Amino acid sequence: MLWFYRFIRGYVAVLFRGDGIERILNIAAANRISLWNTRLCKEGITACVSVKDFKKLPFVIRKSGIRVHILSRKGLPFKTAKNRKRTGLVCGAVIFFLFLEVMSGFVWQIEIRGNSAVAEAEILAACQSIGIHRGLPASKINPKVWRERLLLECDSLAWASINVEGCCVTVNVTEIQKPAEDTSAPCNLKAKADGIIKKLDVTSGNCVVKTGDTVKTGDLLVSGILERADGTEFVHSSGTVTAVTKRNIVLEGKYKRQRRDETGKVKKKYLIDLFGLKIPLFVGGESEKYNSDLKVSTLSLFGKNLPISLYRKEFRFVREYEYTLSHSELCEFLMGELARRLKAEGIGEYEVLSSDFTENRDGVTLSALVSAEENIAVKETVLVAE
């Protein structure tokens, strides 16, 4: 740290000349003048001396016949001396440090830690709703109170803590874990739909139906009550019961439909978020209809996000128009809708037993009878009285 102290105070590299030049060391020691980096050379002795001690040298070597020459000036006082008249630079530095001091009292970064199933955007939205946002004075945050508010706002969190570290707010969370299925609780398997039993794969429980039986919604398929010679045993029924089911699905479609196609025209607009202040880099809005994508790039330093973000919004302009389907095209469209609906319900293989297209004033109504193979077993808890 000595070199840093000398740099702050400033020092001078000098050359001592004259007869009996070695005497300068004794003279400096007698007058408490500190010299360092002393070296003997052809011209004399070179050394470094602080600015304060250099001012004493003319008086202590006046009658010694030794002369002193300045080789170089080093340190902060000499570095800043040439900028003393540049008042703008000095004022700018002062304003910059004042700005940092003022900005350090606000929240500019919010970090979410500990989440896996719950999206970070969902937790940030919950923080926003309770008042935690960029630009908030850090002194207004009460970690204990706002922790409770966050848990009330976000039902998927079991625990949370809020820590304020300078300009950064760290939200540590623990998510609610879904309880594992209790396989010890006794239960039955019942039918969730009408059908004809095609396959049984029961691993636990007393199966009360067999292949080929016809069942209705709510019928008992597998019982969790086993009657034994030594008494009654209650078990957790498990397994699958595959049945052939039939269902009637009705879909409606109209001849006239709306379509939205992209024209290929693309425009990009940018916006800078600087310490919570959003500055648009464009003028005016868009009157045409469009699809858009928003991308946000946040400036980071040493792995930490800074409160400076660049928003880029891409506008892909579209043309909306109305078109009319023919009768055959609409029927084909409804059959596609039928396939998408069955897939959404988890039915992979199915057979359309019958389909009836009824034409009306505006379109067509499809009534389809669909047969499918599916697992119709659902669990129902058995209540056991003490």
Same domain, 51 and 74: yes
User: What sign results for the dihedral spanned by CA atoms 276, 277, 280, 285?
Assistant: positive
Is residue 385 situated within a structural domain? no
328 and 303 in a single domain? The answer is: no
Q: Could you tell me which of 354, 380, 377 has the C-alpha nearest to residue 367?
A: 354
In a domain, 386, yes or no: no
Total domains in the chain come to 5
In a domain, 381, yes or no: no
Tens digit of each residue's pLDDT, the chain (386 residues): 678 788 888 899 999 988 888 888 888 888 888 899 999 888 889 999 998 889 888 888 887 888 889 999 888 888 777 666 666 776 777 787 787 777 778 888 888 898 888 888 899 889 988 888 888 888 888 888 889 999 998 888 889 999 988 778 889 999 888 777 777 789 999 999 999 999 999 999 999 999 999 999 999 999 998 888 788 888 899 999 999 999 899 999 999 998 888 898 999 999 888 777 788 888 888 888 888 888 888 777 766 667 788 889 999 999 988 989 999 999 999 999 999 998 888 887 889 999 999 998 889 999 999 999 989 999 998 877 65
Give yes or no for a contact between 253 and 363, defined as CB atoms under 8 angstroms apart.
Answer: yes
Is 379 part of any domain?
no
Q: Are residues 156 and 194 in the same domain?
A: no
Amino acid 385: pLDDT: 63
Q: Is residue 137 part of a domain?
A: yes
Co-location of 6 and 71 in the same domain? yes
Determine how β-strand 256-274 pairs with β-strand 35-40: unpaired
| C-alpha span between 206 and 189 (Å, rounded) | 10
- Both 96 and 53 in one domain: the answer is no
Has residue 74 been placed in a domain? Answer: yes
Co-location of 268 and 295 in the same domain: yes
User: So what's the pLDDT on residue 121?
Assistant: 86
Are residue 91 and residue 169 in the same domain, yes or no? yes
382 lies in a domain?
no
The string of DSSP codes covering 139-184 is GG--HHHHHHHHHHH-TTEEEEEEEEETTEEEEEEEEPPPPPP-TT
Are residues 134 and 103 part of one domain? yes
Same domain flag for 155 and 225: no
Domain containing residue 153 = 85-178
Note whether residue 380 is domain-resident.
no
User: 338 and 299, same structural domain?
Assistant: no
d(CA 288, CA 364): 33
- Rounded to a whole number of angstroms, the CA Rg of the chain reads 42
Q: Quick one: pLDDT at residue 108?
A: 80
* Last residue in a domain, options 206, 221, 245: 245
Instruction: Give pLDDT, residue 84.
Output: 65
Q: What is the CATH number of the domain that holds 116?
A: 3.10.20.310
DSSP-assigned letters across all residues of 228-247? ETTEEEE-B-EEEEEEEEEE
Domain match, 314 and 336 both: no
What is the domain-level CATH number for residue 53? 3.30.70.240
